[in-house]
């Protein structure tokens, strides 16, 4: 069996077109959705992600502000900037790129962002809302992964979904979103004893461990949907996922490539959350 490749680039374009229509409708009413992206420090990967987020906003005609702060910025200065953006009516979404430098308490930062502008969905109130099934902002990467499953026609209800990774950004919210769609969910980590026992039983396998090619074809249930959230740069400069694509695609029913799978969806869902935040402001909700 050769898996159907889930083309994240094409699906991201379709989803962006849907959200562009909604953004255009708001603009016709005089409201331009606006996103502020804050980066503190010089992390090269973060710089690329942030530049791509700002670029995506421009492509969809959204307003954006790119706030660049030096690595030694005091925590209080960052918190003051967040407070300013929370109060700015041109801004509907505020995002601080993670990780922040060690002297800054990331929990304090995430709690300072207004829950109504928290387009990452990382504020404890929004995490709680996701947990209780009243989601307001879905964290962008798992939201994008869920969209890929939906657009590829993968059924979730009643299926066994195994998520490897327990981060607040991907693993935990992904598990909650799958649970909300009535999957039976198992959360593993890269340290789970006899991991293959779990992965071989997964109808849907989501891998977010940051360990290159750790999931091989022999660990996958024939016909499973495999979502690879990993992005790892190899010694030869090429990107690869947490799944060994070549062996996995011979066994899986569906699989996301790296690059070109989950990656393009993350920024798309950020744009979606920003437009949604602006819609809520416009409707007073």
Active-site positions?
A: 53, 97, 120
| Tokens encoding 113 | 């962002």
CB of residue 165 vs ligand GUN: minimum separation in angstroms? Answer: 12
Select 120 or 228, whichever has its Cβ closest to ligand GUN.
120
User: Interface with ligand GUN includes 69 (CB under 6 A)?
Assistant: no
User: Interface with ligand GUN includes 95 (CB under 6 A)?
Assistant: yes
User: Interface with ligand GUN includes 64 (CB under 6 A)?
Assistant: no
User: Interface with ligand GUN includes 244 (CB under 6 A)?
Assistant: no
Per-residue contact string for residues 101-140; x = within reach of ligand GUN by CB under 6 A: -------------------x-------------------x
Select 199 or 268, whichever has its Cβ closest to ligand GUN.
268
| Residue list 266-285, contact with ligand GUN (CB under 6 A) | none
Among 126, 141, 268, 274, binds ligand GUN (CB under 6 A): 141
| Residue list 151-190, contact with ligand GUN (CB under 6 A) | 169
Binding site for ligand GUN (CB under 6 A): 95-98, 120, 140-141, 169
């Amino acid at each position: 069996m050769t898996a159907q490749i889930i083309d994240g680039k094409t699906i991201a374009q379709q989803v962006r077109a849907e959200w562009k229509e909604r953004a255009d409708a708001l603009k016709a009413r005089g409201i331009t959705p606006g996103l502020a992206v804050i980066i503190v420090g010089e992390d090269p990967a973060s710089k690329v992600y942030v530049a791509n987020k700002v670029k995506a906003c421009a492509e969809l005609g959204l307003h954006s502000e790119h706030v660049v702060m030096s690595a030694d910025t005091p925590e209080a200065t960052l918190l003051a900037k967040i407070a300013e953006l929370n109060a700015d009516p041109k801004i509907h979404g505020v995002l601080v790129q993670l990780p922040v430098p060690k002297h800054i308490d990331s929990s304090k930062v995430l709690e300072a962002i207004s829950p109504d502008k928290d387009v990452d969905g990382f504020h404890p109130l929004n995490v709680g809302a996701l947990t209780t099934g009243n989601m307001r902002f879905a964290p962008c990467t798992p939201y994008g992964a869920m969209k890929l499953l939906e657009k590829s026609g993968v059924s979730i209800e009643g299926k066994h979904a195994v998520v490897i990774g327990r981060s607040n950004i991907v693993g935990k919210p992904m598990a909650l979103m799958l649970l909300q769609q009535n999957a039976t969910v198992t959360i593993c980590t890269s340290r789970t004893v006899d991991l293959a026992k779990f992965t071989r039983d997964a109808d849907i396998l989501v891998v977010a461990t940051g360990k290159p090619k750790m999931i091989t074809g022999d660990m996958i249930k024939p016909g499973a949907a495999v979502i690879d959230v990993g992005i790892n740069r190899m010694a030869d400069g090429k990107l690869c996922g947490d799944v060994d694509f070549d062996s996995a695609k011979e066994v899986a029913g569906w699989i996301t490539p790296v690059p070109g799978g989950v990656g393009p969806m993350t920024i798309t869902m950020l744009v979606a959350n920003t437009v949604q935040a602006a819609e809520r402001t416009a409707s007073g909700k």
